[in-house]
A and B are shown apart, each in its own frame.
Chain A
Amino acid sequence: MIDKDKIQEAMQTAIDYSRADQTEVLVSSTSTALTRFSNNYIHQNVAETNVSVSIRAVVDKKLGYASTNRLDAGSIKEMVDKAIEIAERRPPDPDFVSLPEPRPIELRDLVSKLTVNYSPKERALDLQRLIGAVAARNLTAAGAYSTGYSTLGLANSLGVNAVETISEAELKTVVMSETSSAFSSAIAVNVNDIDVERIALEAEETAIRGQNPAELKPGFYTVILSPYAVADMVSFMAFAGFSALALQEGRSFMKDKFGQQITDPRVSIWDDAYDPHTIGLTFDFEGVPKEKVVFIENGIAKSVCYDSYTANKEGKKSTGHALPAPNPYGPMPLNLIMAPGDSSLAEMIRTSEQAILVSRFHYTNMEDPIRTTLTGMTRDGTFLIEDGKVKMPIKNLRFTQSIVEALSKIDAISLDRQLKEGILGPAYVPWIKVSEFNFTGVTQF
């Protein structure tokens, strides 16, 4: 593990050496290992140690970027020179104001030494339990089990200086029978919080229930979406519209909607890196502390998130949501949270005359970001509910549906929420029940 002192030393080398008007240095150090299994055996098993040093140099409002994965002083100085050389040879950016000034940061340092040092043998022992349980029920498991850590250091010549480490363990599995599949996963800072038996059981139960699915005609149905599907949906929504850059460029669905009711009043979505249920850094990739930003409150469009560039453009303060510079996406929320409701999965099922229960989405993609039209497939367990009971498994369906419209037709939201992977990282979200969800196709399994 590369210690924080080494990262501080690398950052200081860059700042001290640079002759630019302003200099920013980002150092990240990662050590991760991942054991992958399929057909009830380990088929891939890897470990990687890497660093990266990225320099942003500002000379007369001209910005240059250079990066390397070498940590020695000579390489760092070479990258500083390269970033300055690039900056000097490009035209000035009239909209650039300054790199951010330092602000106090309350670091969380979510680190478990156990996770950092977890060995390949320990991962294999855990997987023996999972695969053993699955095989005992004549099912087949595939999946990935990762452990490791990453440390991010960020400093600039105005005095910003922060270093934070996060360890993360993630276990996910797809359990299959001849005619069905099911998914289960968990993410935690401490690998001891990964409940292997629970993950195995959840997937086994769904895989067994999902065997021999029948075909259901596509159309508009009430749908009950799992936290896996909701995390996917909400993070696509955030990607399309919760960034100040998308708003400033006029391509966010939030534009001209602030203060207006855009979804059901029970829907609130925000970003909060300090929420105890999330895992994430407490500062962004410019060293600005992450603020809680509410995007939708009781169905009303409230705000978007900012980095220093988009904030300066509007005379605002950055909310601490910068991604590594440069990037075409602008600021992004990486710790999404959706408010709970007062229902439960059992109640959603019990109160449904007819509905489709979706365990997970697959290969979702945005067709129209302004209408938030998302298409994708269901996967790993899709069920028809009739008269308050799960009636039968059905073949996977394709949906083509506006997310904002779906969130306007909420029937119920669960009290229970779970941390599940979305396209912007883990999101903490509930089960939701939505009416008139547009299923537009069906597949053969």
Chain B
Amino acid sequence: MKDLTSLALDVAKTYGATYADIRIIEKQSESIAIKNGRVEELTASTNYGFGIRVVADGSWGFAGSFLVDKGEIERVARLAVEIAKASAMIKKENVVLAPAQAIQDSYKSPMEIDPFKVSLDDKLALLSEAEEIIRKTKGVAISTASMSTSREKKIFANLEGSYIEQEITESGAAIEAVAIQAAEVQERSYPNSHGGDVATAGYEFIQGLNLKDHAPRVAEEAVALLSAKQCPSGEFTVILDGSQLALQVHESCGHPAELDRVLGMEASYAGTSFMTLDKLNKLQYGSPIVNINADATIPHALGTFGYDDEGVPAQKFDIIKNGLFVGYLTDRETAPVIGQQSNGCARADGWGRIPLIRMTNINLLPGDSSLEEMISEVDDGLYLATNRSWSIDDKRLNFQFATQIGWEIKKGKLGSMVKNPNYTGITPEFWKSCDAIAGPSEWRVWGLPNCGKGEPTQIAHVAHGASPARFRNVKVGVGR
């Protein structure tokens, strides 16, 4: 492959690039879904291609193609330079990249059981036994069990002398029960909604989810929700489970801390950020017990890698420290704006897209409480679990989330189940109302395989560590 990467970099340089990199990526993936006793999806796919990114005349250009041969690499390298020169027709300043070390290395995500060597029969059997339990539960209308596995082999090389090979294997699975009655649809899923949980791991991760052990509960809760009472409206003390908090962290901390968004680079799409440059080290984002970090080195987490797509090593750093906003997610282009070096968050969705600042594993660090203790201290509140829908404004301030299920908390004890819960708030006010976070024993990492950003849209695989946490005076039952 070095002959191809060298050719790309040489051609780009010859035509005027002052910086160039190439990524050659081959991805293999498999998806299986069983729905209502029928194998709905059983797909194998492969995808191969390369992308060349250059700076010429002080501006960026990028081009990618599915055809990996010398002729096409030459054409695409020239096109990338032509595009960069067109960019330079409307520029403010020359692109300045934070310095980065030239690295020759390789990284392979650890796994025990290669998911591509497990037989299809075994995979179908694992899903079938969970799906059958859900399907045979009285009142369930739609039963689903699914898994996805992928392996991405990528080569990164740049004009500065880096040459990095990485191989990342991902595995994930989910089950879901939908109960329907007249004008009512209720759903429960495990281990999470929107695709379940995914990790940089092998088939052992899917086995470890024990789907069939959770299937009876998931099915019964979906059916029970049909006759549960409506979630009340008003201001309540709310405890969120770890999976819902994962998305809360994602939308209200991860995205607004992306420095490209702060600098306006995403303004025309999902918007900008309230965490503006003047707020760094000044904004009291949350209560003093709120600590949020980025850590791309957590073993098996979905946002873990060896090097980002600019060849910068995976890193761990603080975003919120004792409630204070202290750090951004950066890449080589944006880090110099705040006088820093890249903290390794540049990632691209495959060979055909440019690296953007993406979350890695953004984690709400554990506190010293427990779910049981938090509940015992609430006189009148709600415990809400598993995301159903999400929405947040274009500066990441006003949010509204719906969850699949909730329970009343009365006089320190979990009470009746409630359906159709939702809650809303303003980001810093909400995080400042956080008065308890469960400890390390209840903390786990949740993989989110569907984070969208950029134009053309790119989907990133990220993760969030979280344990249940408690918030005071939260507006619940909105729009009723």
Residues of A bordering B, CB below 8 Å: 32-51, 63-71, 82-83, 86, 89-91, 93-95, 119-121, 123-125, 127-128, 131, 140, 142-144, 146, 172-174, 176, 181, 183, 249-251, 326-328, 362-371, 373, 375-377, 379, 396, 398, 400-401, 438, 440-445
Contacts and interface: CB of A to CB of B under 8 A. Distances in A.
B455 A50 contact: no
A211 to B, nearest CB: 16
Chain A interface main SS type: strand
Contacts of B270: 363
Interface in B16-63: 33, 35, 38-49, 51, 59-63
A40 B265 CA distance: 10
A367 B402 contact: yes
Given A38-B268, A375-B479, A443-B397, A47 B83 contact: yes
B395 A375 contact: no
9 contacts: A35-B87, A38-B263, A40-B92, A41-B90, A47-B83, A48-B353, A82-B44, A125-B89, A249-B178
Which 3 interchain pairs have the tightest Cβ spacing? A400-B479, A120-B86, A142-B267
B107 interface: no
B322 interface: no
Given A44-B60, A249-B142, A379 B393 contact: yes
B400 A67 contact: no
Contacts of A445: 395, 397
B391 interface: yes
A143 B83 contact: no
B430 to A, nearest CB: 12
A326 B41 contact: yes
B86 A119 contact: yes
A43 B455 contact: no
A440 B479 contact: yes
B175 interface: no
A157 B357 CA distance: 45
A45 B391 CA distance: 29
Interface residues of B, number: 80
A176 B266 CA distance: 13
A128 B89 contact: yes
A440 B478 contact: yes
Nearest to A373: B479
A375 B63 contact: no
Contacts of A33: 83
Given A142-B268, A143-B268, A251-B180, A363 B185 contact: no
B264 A49 contact: no
Contacts of B83: 33, 45-47, 120
A34 B51 CA distance: 15
A50 B264 contact: no
A419 to B, nearest CB: 19
A379 B390 CA distance: 17
Contact of A249 (B87, B141, B424): B141
Nearest to B63: A47
A35 B63 CA distance: 12
B374 interface: no
B420 interface: yes
Contact of A46 (B42, B62, B271): B62
B97 interface: no
Given A249-B141, A251-B185, A124 B86 contact: yes
A131 to B, nearest CB: 6
A363 B392 contact: yes
Given A68-B45, A363-B394, A367-B388, A51 B268 contact: no
Nearest to B80: A47
B4 interface: no
Nearest to A253: B183
A93 B38 contact: yes
A90 to B, nearest CB: 5
Given A362-B271, A370-B183, A377-B394, A43 B66 contact: no
Contacts of B121: 89
Contact of B398 (A86, A140, A173, A442): A442
A174 B391 contact: no
B439 to A, nearest CB: 32
Contacts of A173: 268
Nearest to A50: B66
Given A144-B268, A363-B391, A377-B393, A47 B79 contact: yes
B48 A441 contact: no
Contacts of A142: 264-265, 267-268
B166 interface: no
A362 B393 contact: yes
Contact of B124 (A42, A90, A124): A90
Contacts of A400: 400, 422, 478-479
Given A49-B64, A441-B398, A86 B44 contact: yes
Contacts of B268: 36, 38, 142-144, 172-174, 183
B82 interface: yes
Tell which of B63, B180, B267 has the most Cβ of chain A within 10 Å: B267
Given A365-B389, A377-B391, 14 more contacts: A41-B92, A46-B64, A47-B79, A47-B80, A49-B65, A142-B268, A173-B268, A250-B185, A326-B41, A363-B392, A367-B389, A367-B479, A373-B479, A444-B397
A255 B287 CA distance: 47
Contacts of B39: 63, 90-91, 93
